[in-house]
Structure 1
Amino acid sequence: MDLDTIREVVVARDRADLVGLGEACAVLAGGTFLFSEPQARLERLIDITGLGWPALLETPPGLEIAATCTLAEFAGATRGRETGRAVLREDWPGTRLFAQGCRALLASHKIWRTATVGGNICLSLPAGGVLAALTALDADALIWSQDGTDRRVPLREFVVGPERNMLERGEILRSVLVPTRTLRARTAVRKIALAPFGRSGAVVMGRRDPDERTAITVTASTTRPVVLDFPAPPEASEVAAAVAAIDPALWFDDPHGAPDWRRHITGVLAREVADELRTEAGGGP
């Protein structure tokens, strides 16, 4: 869709170019959402792809994923040697969630080559698959403010509701850091939708850390990601109690699923995820 209200597009080359973000000025990266519907309030776009951030960067604390990393780069990152793709460490099984999160999205592979990790996170939709995967891996968001300061926010706290998050006016998401601890975790995923190619009705992602701590992350069925923490892989009764304790106001209601159905099916999927994490090969009960 053409945006006929846009009067200027600025290609940012450094942080000083990120000025004026606000009501009439927005960040452009992949643009798959911006150009999908009218944006009558916008008059100016700042293209951040010119900043040249590496899509995936191994650092001492873990893996830094740039906001401008495309879904194709994110999903295509592999462990071990593979020509033509980003290569990650072989001892990072948690990266399996990258492609699984992207496959939970209702999007073609053409969209994958354009849409970005940052766009999926900042759009903050309940069914955001990349948001789900990175929340499940206990990632932190690095946020740049216009005054030159930075702040980090746990991704599990970043989203506060459908299309609402903790970004303040003038701030942008710079990157997401996934810690080594969770990159080394074992994972399990379950997803359901009312139609084969429909938007996800519930997505549940589980993580079992090397020290046995376990987290089960619920998305799509709730208005924001909900993380259920356990000191060890939980039994079915523990999972059922944790799901039952989720605030009733958080169950999402839209044409892709009623709240009572989402609550029920989330409990079923969460128990399956917990069971897989308990009984996975080599993991023991």
Structure 2
Amino acid sequence: MWIYRLCVWSVLTGILLSIVHHPATALLQYSASELFRLRLYLSVPPPVSLHLHPDIALKPRRRYIHRGSRRNFNINDTNSIKSIWSRSRRPPRNTYRTVSHNALAHPARSAKPTIRNGTSSVNFGLLNIRSLTGKGQLIQDLLSDRKLDFLCLTETWQQPNDFVSLNDSTPPEFVYVCQPRNSGRGGGLAIIHRKQWKVLPLSAQLFHSFEYTAIQLPGSSPTIICTVYRPPKPNKDFLNDFTALLTHFSVLTPNMIIVGDFNIHMDNDNNLLSRDFTSCLDSFGLLDP
């Protein structure tokens, strides 16, 4: 029995001596503070002894910076993460486009946009806007700079039941009357006027050769204001239709103001349409004396 105990004791003694004289280099020990420093300072190369264990890897980790509040976020309740707070406010966004007044054409010297009656005067304007989308501030500047009472617009390209662009183009002291094209693209008419002018919408039969919208200034001698757009495509019915419209208006009142884009070269006396159109206007007394 004593021989067995002696053998066991000899084996245990040999194991302890081997551990003391030949320490295992593969066993590494780290304190909690050392592991914490390794986690926060990833830019520092890891200890050489870590290469002895290829299974151990520290994956890169981004530092988190909270930019949205003044609260402090703590790690282990020992170190706080500083919040970054901007002291300057972001400038307000400009929702309007920069208006280039160079794009506006000046009226001819012979044009008479002002109508005087006694001591009062009314300023008229006409513009082929070719889509009102994104041009609201330009229209408002035009009304203010020219001190217009009535601004007639052609080719608004307004869709039925869509009033966003017109609302953006109308200052608070103005209102509008509009006539979008019922089908297809393009076309569309509008009259923007000051609220002080109490007008009545005026309707007549529809014509396929041109578009129009009309209003009437009531009074002892009513005045009709009509905006017309004639597409450039030739239409043999235009003169007959336009004559019918003027005939209807002349029955209501002799005072008419007809403006618009007729796409007719009035400066070309050799053009048959120009001559016939001039004769039509002259027969209703709409030409300057």
TM range (shorter): under 0.3
Higher RCO (C-alpha under 8 Å, 6+ residues apart): 1
TM-score between the two structures when normalised by the length of structure 2: 0.21
Please identify the structure whose Cα radius of gyration is greater: 2
Could you say which structure has the higher strand fraction? 1
TM-score between the two structures when normalised by the length of structure 1: 0.21
